[in-house]
Amino acid sequence: TLSDRLIELMIGMEALFGDKEYQRYKIPLRCACMLYPPGKVRKQAFATIKKFYDERSAIIHGGKLELGPNSKGEVDQFEEYTRRSILEFLEVHKDGCPITSGTQLDDLLFFDGE
């Protein structure tokens, strides 16, 4: 189902971008910053990922996915964010900088890897 797909994609996002606290904010921020330069597209990606984090949380806690006319397309876009994120992590690893912690990821995204 679309709900199952959303949950599975968010598990992937949590594995890549999550850590112990503030996941609702950190996952979308880290993902959007990894995939896009500053600007409108990054802001939209952040909003979309945050929305799906909230929807995933609602499903996990007994709610239902609110299906709208664009739901499948939005989940498709979320899948694309997840796919591209995996590719970015692989590229960074290939370049000799495996990311093993949230702090290391933040350094790479926000402080030029220092």
For residues 46 and 29, is the Cβ–Cβ distance under 8 A? yes
pLDDT in 10s for each residue of the chain, 114 residues: 888 898 899 999 999 999 888 888 999 999 999 999 999 999 999 999 999 898 888 888 887 767 677 778 888 999 999 999 999 999 999 988 888 888 889 998 898 765
Which of 47, 39, 29, 43 has its CA nearest to residue 85? 29
- CA 80: distance to chain centroid? 10
What is the rounded CA–CA span in Å between residue 105 and residue 60?
A: 27
Q: Which pLDDT value is given to residue 34?
A: 95
What is the rounded CA–CA span in Å between residue 103 and residue 75?
A: 28
| pTM of the predicted structure, to 2 decimals | 0.87
Compute the chain's Rg from CA coordinates: 14
Spans of all domains in the chain: 2-110
